[in-house]
Structure 1
Amino acid sequence: MQYISTRGGVIGHYCDILLEGLAPNGGLAVPERMPQIDSVDLERWRHLDYADLATEVIGLFATDIPRDDLARLCRAAYDPARYASAEMVPLRDIGDGLTLVGLSEGPTLAFKDMAMQFLGEALDYVLEKTDGVLNVLGATSGDTGSAAEHALRGRDRVSVFMLSPQGRMSAFQRAQMYSLHDANVHNIAVEGVFDDCQNLVKQLAQDLDFKKAHRIGAVNSINFGRISAQIAYYVWAWLRYTDRLPEAEREGVEVSFAVPSGNFGNILSGLYAKLMGLPIRKLVLATNENNVLDEFFRTGIYRPRSAADTVATSSPSMDVSRASNLERFVFNLLGRDPHRTAATWETLADHDTFDLSAEQGRFESEFGIVSGTSTHEDRLRTIRAFFESHGVTLDPHTADGAKVAREHVEPGVPMLVLETAKPQKFADTITEALSTPIVADAETRALFDAPQRVTMLPADAEQLRALIEKSALR
């Protein structure tokens, strides 16, 4: 399968896009055609374990990786020894018609592990085949950074330069990242918000000479390798939910998914699963107070906010104003027309907004996407309510998802809420919600006590270039 840019032109095959990040013209890689699955595929996959299912799903996109090699990569990435639950992704009923999809059983207690563990294995595989090295440049609002660093730490052919916004992550998130002292891990705290970090990544990625000279790649969700790996857990969740039904009633059962959303990569993976043929009715997008995406899906008008207007919230991983993966959705919305997509992003660059309100009616009717906003008080109430009613403690981001999910539950349609992280990563908010402090276990205490290593940097592309030039693998 070939991959094309949302703004035009062929990029290459799957192994090529794993290393590239942004396309040379600033667009994002998408498959030239969306592979399809049907009820026969789903039933054939029903009894597979997670690693084998991931091999089947990712294999639809990674056609240039021999199947035996891909199976080996998935077996390493999804080794149960790396995860807290033997089920890998357990499902749990939590009341109010909601089922929690447990995506946070991996080494950094966040859903990002589900894709990042695979990406770490796949990057090593491609670089070994090509005798190359890669300097990963990424931005994180919280969980991407730690998941990437834990997946890539200690690897000989990959170094990681991870930008994070100073003072905008939880203490647990900072400790998970900054306590790593591996020689190939470089933590950079940027003066600003996540969007400032992301803008720096894009500036350097669009400097093609610098990118080539320093072999710059990406692990943010602009990397399609992550999107392809995330599609697997939507399929898994559908299979595990329908396992509960009598065999004769399983085929074609529609479920809805509620997805806390920041950079739009997680819910985009669900959209791709739907477009591939997985029976998904609705994709419920939940935002926090930085609700640019909710405004867009309600009105069709996209108005990213400035760094000054992007507020710090108690669900910090969603403190995003400019969602990179929205371009992939708009590409589909505009009939996969790269010229219209490029023109839309030129309008955004010129006016800091674009208007697709003429298409807004299709967001739900064609793509199944609905949206809503959750505030600090909403998430406190939601955390408290589910703890009191079912003894389950939701992290703040998952609470945002559950709050908005309840607004879109339909009779007879299961609502699956994607868990994004474990609550101990956000102890202050959980303590505020439940009036009971989370007691840190020995592992958490050791994490907080470990010395931290981080470089402070202003939001300045030239200073970032100089740092990378000094430390990049060659």
Structure 2
Amino acid sequence: MQYISTRGHAIGQYSDVLVEGLAPDGGLAVPETMPTVSAETLESWRSLSYADLAAEVIGLFATDIPREDLTRLTHAAYAAEKFEAAETVPLTDIGRGMTLVGLSEGPTLAFKDMAMQFLGEAMEYVLAKTGSSLNILGATSGDTGSAAEYAFRGRERISIFMLSPLGRMSAFQRAQMYSLQDANVHNLAVAGVFDDCQHLVKTLAEDLDFKRAQHLGAVNSINFGRISAQIVYYVWAWLRATDAEDAEKRAGFPVSFAVPSGNFGNILSGYYAKLIGVPIRTLVLASNENNVLDDFFRTGIYRPRTSAETLATSSPSMDVSKASNLERFIFDFVGRDPERTAGLWRELGENGFFDLSAERERFAAEYGFVSGTSTHTDRLDTIRSFAESADITLDPHTADGAKVALPHVEAGVPMLVLETAKPRKFPEIIAEALGSAPEPSAETRALMDAPQRVEEIPADADALRAYIAERAVGR
């Protein structure tokens, strides 16, 4: 399978897009042709373990990696000792027509582990094949950073430079990242918000001379390797949610997904799952108060906010106002026209917005996207409500997903709510909602008390270039 940029240029195969990150022309890598699977193939996957299913799904996109090698990589990524739940991704009925998809059983207790654990194995494999090294530059609003660092820590050919917004993450999230002492892990707290961090990553990725000299790569959701690995749990969840249905109608039995959304990578993976053949009826996009994406899917006008306008909320991993993965969807929406895609982003740069309002009805009618916004009061009420009705504690982001999903629950169509993280990562919000937070475990107390290693830098590309140039591996 070959990959192209959303701006039109050829990129290469799966192994190439793993280490490339942002395309040289400033676009994002997408398959030249989207693979599809039949209902019979989907049904044949029903009895597979998560690791074996991952090899099948990712194998649709990673055709340049021998299947034996890919299976070895997925088994290493999803080894039982890395995940709290025996089934890797458990499904739990939480009532009101909704099922929780447990994506936070991995080492950092967040859904980002599901893709990052695979990416760590796959990148090391590709680098070993080519005898090269890679310096990963990423940005995080909360969970991507720790998931990436735990996936890449201690790897000989890789260093990771992770940007996080100064003072904008929870104490638990900071401790998970900043307590790592591995020499190849570099934590940088940027004086700004997540969008400033993301802008720095894109600026350096577009500096082709610096990128090549320092062997820069990316693990943010702009990396298609992460997108491909996230498609797996949509397939897994559909297989589990329809397992009890009559065998004759299972093949086309529809489900819907509710997805807490910030950078649009997770829900984009659901859209791709639908394209390959998973019977998905509705994709419910849940925003927090930084509801640029909700505004876009309701009005057709995409207007990112400035850093000053981006709010610090109680679901901090969604405090994003410039959704980098939206370009992949827009590329499809405009008929995979790279010139029109590039033109819309030029318009965005010149005017601060672009306008597809004349076509906004297509979002739901053709693609199944609906959206909504959840506020601080909403998420507190939702956490409290499900604790009382289902005896389950939702983290703030997942509560946003459940709240926005409720009006879209349909009789006979399972609503699968994707979990963002374990609630113990956000004890202050849980305590505000329920009156008290769960007693921290000995492991959590040790994590919070561990010494932290982080450096503060300004939101300045030259300062970041200098920092990386002094510490890059393989330079």
1:410-436, CA deviations, whole angstroms, 9 ceiling, x for partnerless residues? 122110000010000000000000001
CA contact under 8 A between 2:298 and 2:371: conserved in structure 1?
yes
Structure 1 match to 2:343: 343
Distance, in Å, in 1 between the alignment partners of 2:464 and 2:382 is 40
Structure 1 match to 2:114: 114
Distance, in Å, in 2 between the alignment partners of 1:8 and 1:247 is 43
Structure 1 match to 2:288: 288
Structure 2 match to 1:399: 399
1:209 counterpart = 2:209: yes
Shift of 1:361: 1.0
Distance, in Å, in 2 between the alignment partners of 1:437 and 1:382 is 16
- What is the DSSP-based 3-state SS (H/G/I as helix, E as strand, rest coil) of the residue aligned with 2:163? strand
Shift of 1:277: 1.1
Distance, in Å, in 1 between the alignment partners of 2:239 and 2:79 is 20
Distance, in Å, in 1 between the alignment partners of 2:46 and 2:25 is 40
- What is the DSSP-based 3-state SS (H/G/I as helix, E as strand, rest coil) of the residue aligned with 1:189? strand
Shift of 1:81: 1.0
1:54-91, CA deviations, whole angstroms, 9 ceiling, x for partnerless residues? 00000000000000000000010010110000010000
1:242 counterpart = 2:242: yes
The 5 A counterparts of 1:65-464 are 65-464=65-464
- What is the DSSP-based 3-state SS (H/G/I as helix, E as strand, rest coil) of the residue aligned with 2:408? coil
CA contact under 8 A between 1:7 and 1:342: conserved in structure 2?
yes
CA contact under 8 A between 1:401 and 1:418: conserved in structure 2?
yes
Distance, in Å, in 2 between the alignment partners of 1:116 and 1:63 is 20
CA contact under 8 A between 1:38 and 1:278: conserved in structure 2?
no
CA contact under 8 A between 2:138 and 2:145: conserved in structure 1?
yes
CA contact under 8 A between 2:101 and 2:416: conserved in structure 1?
yes
Distance, in Å, in 2 between the alignment partners of 1:390 and 1:342 is 47
Aligned length, in residue pairs: 474
CA contact under 8 A between 1:260 and 1:398: conserved in structure 2?
yes
Distance, in Å, in 2 between the alignment partners of 1:244 and 1:191 is 51
Instruction: Give RMSD over aligned pairs.
Output: 0.5
Q: Which amino acid aligns with 1:173?
A: Q
1:294-341, CA deviations, whole angstroms, 9 ceiling, x for partnerless residues? 000000000100001000000000000000000000000000010100
Distance, in Å, in 1 between the alignment partners of 2:163 and 2:293 is 23
Shift of 1:196: 0.2
Using the size of structure 2 for normalisation, the TM-score is 0.99
Structure 2 match to 1:6: 6
1:73-118, CA deviations, whole angstroms, 9 ceiling, x for partnerless residues? 0010010110000010000000111000000000000000000000
Distance, in Å, in 1 between the alignment partners of 2:203 and 2:34 is 29
Shift of 1:248: 2.5
Shift of 1:192: 0.5
Q: Which amino acid aligns with 2:420?
A: T
Shift of 1:142: 0.2
Shift of 1:352: 1.1
Q: Which amino acid aligns with 1:84?
A: E
Q: Which runs of 4+ in 1 moved over 4 A?
A: none
Distance, in Å, in 2 between the alignment partners of 1:209 and 1:119 is 25
CA contact under 8 A between 2:162 and 2:188: conserved in structure 1?
yes
Structure 2: gaps of 5 or more residues: none
CA contact under 8 A between 2:40 and 2:251: conserved in structure 1?
no
Structure 2 match to 1:21: 21
- What is the DSSP-based 3-state SS (H/G/I as helix, E as strand, rest coil) of the residue aligned with 1:346? helix
Shift of 1:128: 0.2
Shift of 1:276: 1.1
- What is the DSSP-based 3-state SS (H/G/I as helix, E as strand, rest coil) of the residue aligned with 1:407? helix
Q: Percent identity?
A: 72
Distance, in Å, in 2 between the alignment partners of 1:336 and 1:41 is 27
Distance, in Å, in 1 between the alignment partners of 2:44 and 2:438 is 43
Distance, in Å, in 1 between the alignment partners of 2:305 and 2:211 is 28
Distance, in Å, in 1 between the alignment partners of 2:103 and 2:178 is 23
